[in-house]
Structure 1
Amino acid sequence: MRIGELSRHTGVSTRLLRYYEEQGLIRAERSANGYRAYRGDAVATVRQIRALLAAGLSTEVIRDVLPCARGEVPALEPCPDLLATLRRELDAIDARIDALRETRESLADFLRATAGAPA
Structure 2
Amino acid sequence: MRIGELARLTGVSTRLLRYYEEQGLLRPARSAAGYREYGEADTVRVRQIRSLLAAGLTTRAIAGLLPCATGPVPVLEACPQLLTTLRGELADLDARIDDLTRSRRVLARYLATAHAPAREHAA
Q: Tell me the distance in 2 between the aligned counterparts of 1:81 and 1:36.
A: 31
One-letter amino acid matched to 1:82: L
Structure 2, unpaired ranges of 5+? 117-123
User: What is the match of residue 76 of structure 2?
Assistant: 76
Write the deviation string for residues 73-94 of structure 1: whole angstroms up to 9, x where unpaired.
Answer: 0000001110111011001111
User: What is the match of residue 37 of structure 2?
Assistant: 37
User: What is the match of residue 9 of structure 1?
Assistant: 9
Give the CA deviation at 1:23: 0.5
User: What is the match of residue 86 of structure 1?
Assistant: 86
Tell me the number of residue pairs that the alignment of Structure 1 and Structure 2 aligns.
116
SS at match of 2:20: helix
Q: Tell me the distance in 2 between the aligned counterparts of 1:115 and 1:85.
A: 47
Which structure has the bigger radius of gyration? 2
Give the CA deviation at 1:115: 3.2
Structure 2 length-normalised TM: 0.90
Write the deviation string for residues 25-58 of structure 1: whole angstroms up to 9, x where unpaired.
Answer: 0011211111111122000000000000000001
Q: Tell me the distance in 2 between the aligned counterparts of 1:10 and 1:66.
A: 17
One-letter amino acid matched to 1:111: L
User: What is the match of residue 47 of structure 1?
Assistant: 47
Structure 1, unpaired ranges of 5+? none
